Structure 1
Amino acid sequence: MAKRERGSLSRAEIVKVALEVAEADGADALTFRRLGPALGVAPTAVLRHFRDKDELLLAIGAQLLENALAEVDLAEPSWRERLLSLARASRRAFVAHPRVAALVATRTLRQEAEFRTVELILGALAQAGLSGREAASMYRVVADTILAWTAFEATVHAVGLDVMHRDGLAWTREYVVLPADRYPHIRAVAEHLSEVDREDQFELALNLVLDAVEARAARGR
């Protein structure tokens, strides 16, 4: 890339290129020495925007959250639908960049996108009828369920879908032929185990958590 004018580099552009580099060659390739030439600047120019790699990773995490928030209809009247929309959008945003998502999904970002996400979740929980410590505790359950799942799926994608597909064949091969006298409970549902995919699991996990929110709110009332 040709050299650029001094002062024309922005944080947003650095984050964009950092995502491209990490997705192409892995997070280990995400160095300022590598980013400088990719951006057409000296590595020290990146340091004027981010003091170290960790700060850059947090900014990348914030950008993934921004991508997710852009898909959420904040005017949706149903608190449950807003949270489901946020969860699904977060999953898509993070899994689209699996090689960095696994590194940032579990971090506390301390940036505007995170603040807005927390506010969205707490607002939905308040509408559901939770407040105080119970709302704070349930917020962590909701957020951690979403982020833990996205980190898990990002890791799956990073391992390789072909590898995971081969592992998944165990449900239709090894599990269905296990001896019923030794594994009666497995054999009782063996034909259904292969039908349950990650989409089912994600939706079920989310809805179980939101059912718990409704149950706790009803108990409080």
Structure 2
Amino acid sequence: MAKRERGSLTRSEIVKVALELAEAEGGEALTFRRLGPALGVAPTAVLRHFRDKDELLLAIGNQLLETALAEVDPAEPDWRERIRALSRATRRAFVAHPRVAVLVATRTLRQEAEFRVVELILGAMAQAGLRGREAASLYRVVADTLLAWTAFEATVHAVGLDVMRKDGLAWDREYVVLPADRYPRIREVAPYLSEVDREDQFELALELVLDAVAARGSAGRVD
């Protein structure tokens, strides 16, 4: 890339190029020495915007959450539907960049997009009838379940879908021929194991968590 005008570099541009670099070559490629030439500046120019790699990673995570939030209607009246929309959008945003997602999905970003996500989820908890410590606790259950699932799927994609498809064949091969006398429960459900995919499980996990929130809210509500 050609040299650029001094002072023209922005944080958003650095985040964009860093995301592309890390996704193409992995997190180990995300160094200021590599970023400088990719941006057409000296590596020290990046340091004027980010103290270190960790601060840059947090900004990348914030950008992924911004992408997810752009798909969510905060005025949606149904609290469960708001959480569904946020969860699905977050999953899409992170899994679209799996090599980055595995680095940031478990971090506390402490930036604007994360604050908005926390506010959105806590608003849903309040609407469900939860307050105080219980609202905080159930917020963490919702957020941690979503991010844990997202990190898991990102890892799957980072490993490679071909490898995971080969692993998935085990449900149709090894599991269906296990001896019924030793593994009666497996043999009982073996024909269905291969039918259950990550899409099914994500949606089921999400609904189970939302059911728990609704149940806790109803239990604490005084009519």
Q: Normalising by structure 2, report the TM-score.
A: 0.99
Q: Distance in 1 between matches of 2:85 and 2:171?
A: 30
Unaligned 5+ segments in structure 2 are none
Alignment of 1:166 with 2:166, yes or no, is: yes
Structure 1 distance, partners of 2:169, 2:201, is 17
Corresponding residue of 1:30: 30
Q: How does 1:45-84 map to 2 (within 5 A)?
A: 45-84=45-84
- Please state how far the C-alpha of 1:77 moved relative to its aligned partner: 0.7
User: Identity of paired residues, percent?
Assistant: 85
CA distance in 2, matches of 1:217, 1:151: 28
CA distance in 1, matches of 2:145, 2:202: 9
Alpha-carbon separation, structure 2, partners of 1:75 and 1:135: 20
Is residue 2:8 matched to residue 1:8?
yes
Tell me the equivalent position of 2:201: 201
| Paired amino acid for 2:128 | A
TM norm structure 1: 0.99
4+ residue runs over 2 A deviation: none
CA shift digits 1:10-35 (9 cap, x unpaired): 00000000011011111100000000
Query: What amino acid is the match of 1:11?
Result: R
- Partners of 2:130 and 2:143 in 1: CA distance: 15
Q: How does 1:35-184 map to 2 (within 5 A)?
A: 35-184=35-184
Q: Residue type matched to 2:154 in 1?
A: A
Q: Deviation string for 1:113-151 (max 9, x for gaps)?
A: 000000000001101110000000000000000000000
Distance 2:214 2:110 in 1: 29
Cα distance in 2 for residues equivalent to 1:100 and 1:150: 11
**Whole-angstrom distance in 2 between the partners of 1:113 and 1:55:** 15
Distance 1:188 1:78 in 2: 39
Q: Which runs of 5+ in 1 are unaligned?
A: none
Aligned length: 221
1:185 aligns to what? 185
Q: What amino acid sits opposite 2:107 in the alignment?
A: R
